[in-house]
Chains A and B, each alone.
Chain A
């Protein structure tokens, strides 16, 4: 009892060991001193806040942001000392910003709560006190026996005890966990599988011991101890016994399992990962700009304070008769006064830091990212998948990519395998009309009758059809649509080969099993312990003894079978490097040759071998395997040892070649990326020959390219020597482009010692191919480039689990929604269905987002300089007394109302150039590379523009008021508030119009917010000045605005100041446009009258998806034949930009690519290939 309380109070840490012990059905041992272990309950909590901690926790998180913290400090300063503005002026915007963010986060959390409640409240059936009880999912405790019925998901991580099948197996799909859609068979221990009813389960005495929770989905080590008639039986438990939360039961009526990991300790919950905090380059420059502005602010405040005291040193200014000091002022110490003056000036100028910048940027990113998902061009019809945005923070980074690292299989290729060739016993075979035919034989030369296979051929086919983990689904999916695939009668004779569907986690295996079926050796089913094949109609049953699963290190898998004749045989299948070294018999050399040949054709190769065991050998194998499998410690290592012991002395049977088709328009996409100045690297685990041939066929390597190789380096010195040699070759030969092939082993050598040399070589190569790469190596390459001195922006794209590390490492990670599961998609920042969508994602969306956000940031700083500089200038005319120029309400509302919406709408809808132009002219991407729109120069320009405008606002108004004549027809005079309001009015209009000048794409929303903002300012001011406000100290602004507008001079001043402000910038824009047009500008504005001449060849290539299909051909044609502008009209038919002032013809004749080396490589053959 004492101990229990101490534990509850947290004095004793809960028992921590490497394993947890779970008593099935919570039947604890009866001996006295047992302390139950305490486990988490089965509640899933994905929400961040609760009702009562939302406010403090959210506030705390928001104020960790440096800008918010700054504003709260300003606010506190205002509360403490006598400052020129009331605390409301900075408190209100801060409150606004914080509230908007809090609402957004609160809403998101509410959605999470809702989802949690749904999950936690789901009904489940649990065996309690001898009967089946329905309860809620959150009430499941570790040790409970849970019943799950067909097509239900598992509510916790369960160890399978029994199923309705005799052998105690069940099928599940883990699609929602890792996206693998194949059926997986899970097993129960024989001792428990008999407990198929509640009553039998009641009698079960068992204890599960297993490791502590671990996020790895594919790792589970444990054992179950079943007590039967006083005898303890220990059985090993592995991943194949564990049913993961989130997976779904298939093909099995019901199962019973004991919960071992619940709630937040289940593997699914442990895999909820915090998104990696990637920050975009824009955000980094934004922060450095903020620091610069902070410096400006401090400088202005210090300068003002010093000048104030310099001024006051002259007695005549210090205390004129009309402005006597108060007692308090006289008595306070000079140092304190100095500090408080400095703080007061800081408060006065604090608006130079744009308070709403972060919240606007956040909204822009959040709202703007919808456009990616909405884009029909990024929608893949065949798989019904649209693009997916996981991190909207990186939108603009898509416009900055310099290196693309792409996976090959499933990314460049379809990952849809087709059996093409094989080599059996040193003879090459092809599949012709469902028959295995030795190569060289003509199609017509063979008769259909003499199809008898030789023994080797048959053994090979059997090996292929037996050595795999393919599952068969007999019951066709219920949702069978057209095609009539679902004949209902096929269910009855489940083994009807016609309606078998193979499910495999590896597409290669599926292709191979399908191929052998066509060739006469059909795999017809496995039921856990036996595998059945039909060789030419004759059924054979093999007893499945062991499966040595595939893993990435061994790169092979094996099965041990007992043949119908009773012999024990091992079949192994794997990469040639993983099998050939262990082979001792068979045509090893010939096969190796054939494998290389297959690889050259771009086929994926696998080698098949077998081993016959003698009875003694098999006993030893059995012993070793069992020992390793039941080990609780270092099980993996011991298994590896056992596998290595078993998989040797192999007899080589042959090799297979499987083709993986290239995806649609890969070539065009790679070419477009290259024209956009992006270097494309292909990183693959494939063989060097396969990789090179795929690289060539997808246009990554050109035939005219000089291909350099860095392969099979074994020592440091050799590697360095080779690198120097390559560097020299590159130097000697300037004209030809270079491609580099590196393999994984050489790469790790090169990276270890000669990083710099290697980088030099790589930078001079326009295409690099890395083959035989391990997943971590991929990430390492990306990391190397990311951290190189130039700090290029990298993008990694891939589809499989092996690409995850690379995707997470790169600045932008893109997942392909392919066949290899959803792990890549889940860990990516963006996910697309096909590689070809990358070009639109980068060239169009990336370009737009970058331009939008860059202007957003620059404009924000500009408008705040405009805002606060007049206030600074005014100090020179009011003895640095911190008199504000504008009224408090105007100070407060400037950033949150008067100038906020136009820039937000601009940053959502701006299109500098038509999307189609961007896609057909990838070179435009270079205009924005290197963060050029946020370079220090542009920033300086905008800041100076802001200062200039502020000077014009202030001194223009000063010139009018400073003549100190009446500005009204009735001779009355204006005061200081009228002066401030005049400056403010001019400012709001100018700042809005300045943005209007930057806008190239005026939708109705732009019109609405631009003119609406100005109108709102006028309406607000009339209202604000129109009544005496209750509860307000001063009525300074009463009727000021109306009086201002009643003055003709004021109107004329407003107009002239606005024109003066906008005139030089407009002049500069026009002159630059004509003297130094950028590529983008050129493609914006070609006069419409040129739209004649050649009838458009290009229009032939324009098709609905707006892809850059034949753009390369078109560009070539353009260069040869001159302008082809009618294309714009043809191609633009799909888009609505039919406004007559839209001159965005995209096919003017200028030679964009003349200094682009890549154009040299376009050999005529390839061009005509398009």
Chain B
């Protein structure tokens, strides 16, 4: 037998094949983790305080106007038999409500996140594809057609668009001065510039020919905003705000901004009246309606959660690192005596 044996089978002696790739081997030992925890904890406490203070400086005024209780100011309107009902919400500001002020409406117990409801729309129609005006997608059912005529925009989601109206007046020397509302920039820029498009054709009314308005709507889509013709159809911002479904059953939606004239700096102290055009029914499903005035910081509206969360987690880190220090000092490894 040949004693001469080659080495062609010899494996390569490389770091990879020998599983010796240079590697960082971090060890979660107390020596690293304790200082790390202290650092993270302190940083979090710092951030928490900052967030907390920021959030606390934000002013919020919130009023329910559902009108369930008899003594509530909108009680008379909550009965849906009354058409075009108006009710007044009076409130007083003790100090300047710093601007820019954002005005929201809020609904509770309202499930915009219901699946079939959310799917009940026709995305092609909403992107201005004329084909789908006369043949709406069947996902729009039961708001696909109204007496055989196709609905535009079809579907339950557009159909149920919020239609209460608000007007704010300041009482200046006994007279009502209307506070100008800004209806621009309340929905995402990409929504009204790219994602949603009106059907081609001018005037808009002509483009909508052969369709009918959603049954719940008082006016057709091309007449949503009577003051600004460019804010009509599918790119009406109120409509877009509504079309962005809320994640949870209690939600708020931006209605108007107060950015114009002397109110740009905020609402000065004084008496105000909010005139509400009460149209939207919510009592059938125990819903609530509210209005909210709020200003915002860089991080958005008033939000206590973040500040508190950071403070809690931060202090837990610090406490735990102390506990670990005690454990470490007392036990170490049992064998290290």
Asked if A961 CB lies within 8 Å of chain B CBs, one says yes
Please name all residues of chain B whose beta carbon is closer than 8 Å to the beta carbon of A884 when the two chains form the complex. Answer: 115
Most B CB contacts (10 A, CB to CB) among A323, A376, A1034, A1067 go to: A323
B15, B253, B294, B309: the one contacting A959 at CB < 8 Å is B309
Contacts of A1049 in B (CB 8 A): 299-300, 303, 306
A425 to B3 Cα, complex, angstroms? 38
Assembly CA distance A1149 to B317 (angstroms): 33
Are A1001 and B33 interface neighbours, CB within 8 A? no
Residues of A within 8 A of B120 (CB): 323
Chain A residues with CB under 8 A of B303: 960, 963, 965, 967, 1049
Q: Is the CB of A1056 within 8 A of B30?
A: no
A530 to B177 alpha-carbon distance, docked (Å): 133
Alpha-carbon gap, A1144 to B304, bound state (A)? 46
User: Is B10 in contact with A1070, judged by CB distance below 8 angstroms?
Assistant: no
User: Which of the 9-residue segments A1-9, A25-33, A314-322, A859-867 touches chain B?
Assistant: A314-322
Q: How far is the CA of A971 from the CA of B44 in the complex (A)?
A: 26
With A323-B111, A959-B309, A1038-B194 known to touch, is A877 a contact of B254 (CB < 8 Å)?
A: no
Considering only CB atoms, which chain B residue lies closest to A884 in the complex?
Answer: B115
The contact string, 1 if C-beta is below 8 Å from chain B, for chain A 996-1033, is 01001111111000000000000000000000100001
Q: Restricting to A931-982, which residues have a CB under 8 Å from any CB of B?
A: 956, 958-976, 978-980
Q: Which residues of A contact B160 (CB under 8 A)?
A: 321-323
- Determine if A1063 and B300 form an interchain contact, defined as CB atoms under 8 angstroms apart: no
Interface pair B299/A1137, CB less than 8 Å apart: no
On whether A1143 and B27 interact (CB within 8 A), knowing A383-B5, A1074-B327, A1136-B15, the answer reads yes
Say how far B91's CB is from chain A's closest CB, in angstroms. Answer: 19
CA distance A382 to B7 in the complex (A): 9
A1080 CB–B CB distance under 8 Å: no
**B226 at interface, CB cutoff 8 A:** no
B51 (CB) vs chain A CBs: closest residue: A1052
Report if B175 contacts A (CB, 8 A).
no
Neighbouring A residues of B10 by C-beta, 8 Å:
376, 379, 381, 384, 386
Q: Nearest Cβ distance between residue A1028 and chain B, in whole angstroms? A: 7
Contact B28 A1070 (CB under 8 A): yes
Cβ-closest chain B residue relative to A845: B19
Q: Which residues of B contact A501 (CB under 8 A)?
A: 1
What residues on B are CB-neighbors of A381 within 8 Å? 7, 10
Q: List residues of A (364-389) whose CB comes within 8 Å of B's CBs.
A: 370-371, 373-376, 379, 381-386
> Are B309 and A978 in contact, with the CB atoms below 8 A?
no
A1137/B20 contact (C-beta < 8 A), A479-B4, A962-B248 known: yes
Shortest Cβ distance from B307 into A: residue:
A1052
B8 / chain A contacts, CB cutoff of 8 Å: 384
Instruction: Let me know if B213 is at the binding interface, CB within 8 A.
Output: no
Chain B residues near A882: list those with CB within 8 A.
Answer: 115
Residues of B near A325 (CB, < 8 A) are 142
| Contact partners of A1137 in chain B: CB under 8 A | 20, 22-23, 25
Is B247's CB under 8 angstroms from A975's CB? yes
Q: Does A1035 contact B (CB under 8 A)?
A: yes
> Which residues of chain B from 1 to 35 have a CB within 8 Å of any chain A CB?
1-13, 15, 17-31, 33
- What interface size band does chain A fall in? 35 or more
Task: Kindly state whether residue A481 has any CB partner on chain B within 8 Å.
Answer: yes
Given A975-B246, A1059-B40, A1059-B313; A1144-B25 close (CB under 8 Å): yes
Whether B12 lies near A374 (C-beta < 8 A) is yes
Taking CB atoms and an 8 Å cut-off, the chain B residues in 175-204 that contact chain A are 185-188, 190, 194-195
Does A962 contact B250, Cβ atoms closer than 8 Å? Answer: yes
Closest approach, in angstroms, between the C-beta of B131 and any C-beta of chain A?
A: 14
Q: A1066-B28, A1067-B320, A1070-B29 are in contact. Are A1056 and B113 (CB under 8 A)?
A: no
CB-contacts of A1063-1115 with B (<8 A): 1063, 1066-1067, 1069-1071, 1073-1075, 1077, 1082, 1084-1085, 1087
Which one of B102, B195, B251, B316 lies within 8 Å of A1038 (CB-CB)? B195
Q: Is the CB of B248 within 8 A of A382?
A: no
B229 at the interface (CB under 8 A from A): no
Cα separation A481 to B6 with both chains bound (whole Å): 10
Q: Which of A327, A371, A959, A967 contacts B142 (CB 8 A)?
A: A327
Residues of B within 8 A of A316 (CB): 284-286
**Does the CB pair B299–A1043 fall under 8 Å?**
no
Q: Are the CB atoms of B313 and A883 closer together than 8 Å?
A: no
Task: Return the contact of B23 from the options A978, A1003, A1059, A1148 (Cβ within 8 A).
Answer: A1003
Say whether A73 faces chain B, with CB atoms less than 8 Å apart. no
Chain B: minimal CB distance from A347 (Å): 12
* A911→B252 contact, CB < 8 A: no
Q: Which residues of B contact A1035 (CB under 8 A)?
A: 123, 127, 195
A1120 → chain B closest CB, angstroms: 16
> Which positions 1036-1060 of chain A face chain B at CB distance < 8 Å?
1038-1039, 1043, 1047-1049, 1052-1053, 1056, 1059-1060
The one of A374, A1006, A1060, A1082 that contacts B335, using a Cβ cutoff of 8 Å: A1082
A1069 with B28, Cβ < 8 A, contacts A324-B142, A1075-B331 known: yes
* CB neighbours of B102 from chain A (8 A): 966, 971
B75 part of interface (Cβ distance < 8 Å): no
Write out the residue numbers on chain B whose beta carbons fall within 8 Å of the beta carbon of A480. 2, 4
Q: B29 to A1052, Cβ gap below 8 A?
A: no
Q: Which residues of B265-308 have CB atoms within 8 Å of chain A's CB atoms? A: 281, 284-286, 294, 296-306
B106 partner residues in chain A, CB cutoff 8 A? 964
Known interface pairs A965-B303, A967-B299; A1043-B25 also in contact (CB < 8 Å): no
The number of chain B residues with a CB under 8 A from chain A is: 107
Across the two chains, which residue of chain B brings its CB closest to A979? B247
Give every chain A residue within 8 A of B12 (Cβ-Cβ).
374
| Pairwise interchain contact B9-A385, C-beta atoms closer than 8 A | yes
* Interface presence of B116 (CB below 8 A): yes
- Let me know if B310 is at the binding interface, CB within 8 A: yes
Q: Is A1141 an interface residue when CB atoms closer than 8 A count as contact?
A: yes
Residue of B11, B195, B249 ringed by the most chain A CB atoms within 10 A: B11
Chain A contacts of B141 at CB under 8 A? 326-328
A976 to B247, CA, bound (A): 4
Check if A881 is an interface residue, CB within 8 A of chain B: yes
Q: Which residues of the partner chain B approach A1047 to less than 8 Å between Cβ atoms?
A: 299-300
* CB neighbors of B among A308-353 (8 A): 316-317, 320-328
Q: Is A239 interfacial (CB 8 A cutoff)?
A: no
Contact of A1141 among B22, B25, B117, B245 (CB under 8 A): B25
A967 (CB) vs chain B CBs: closest residue: B300
Contacts of B159 in A (CB 8 A): 322
Most buried by B among A320, A379, A386, A882: A320
A276 vs B304: C-alpha distance when bound (angstroms): 63
Task: Report Cα–Cα, A321/B280, bound state, in Å.
Answer: 11
Is B235 at the interface (CB under 8 A from chain A)?
Answer: no
**Known pairs A481-B2, A1141-B24 / 18 extra A-B pairs, C-beta < 8 Å:** A323-B117, A323-B120, A376-B10, A483-B3, A878-B111, A961-B247, A965-B302, A967-B300, A969-B297, A976-B113, A978-B247, A1003-B23, A1034-B123, A1048-B299, A1071-B327, A1075-B331, A1085-B29, A1087-B31
A interface residues with partner B (beta carbon < 8 Å): 84, 181, 316-317, 320-328, 370-371, 373-376, 379, 381-386, 477, 479-483, 501, 503, 848, 877-879, 881-884, 909, 911, 915, 956, 958-976, 978-980, 997, 1000-1006, 1028, 1033-1035, 1038-1039, 1043, 1047-1049, 1052-1053, 1056, 1059-1060, 1063, 1066-1067, 1069-1071, 1073-1075, 1077, 1082, 1084-1085, 1087, 1135-1137, 1139, 1141-1144, 1148-1151
Which 8 residue pairs spanning A and B have beta carbons closest together?
A: A965-B301, A322-B160, A1150-B335, A979-B247, A481-B4, A374-B17, A971-B102, A881-B115
Offer 27 A-B interface pairs, CB within 8 angstroms, sorted by A.
A323-B117, A323-B156, A326-B142, A327-B142, A371-B17, A375-B11, A375-B19, A481-B3, A877-B248, A878-B115, A878-B249, A881-B117, A960-B305, A966-B252, A971-B100, A971-B186, A975-B244, A979-B247, A1035-B195, A1059-B44, A1060-B313, A1069-B28, A1070-B29, A1075-B327, A1139-B22, A1141-B25, A1144-B25
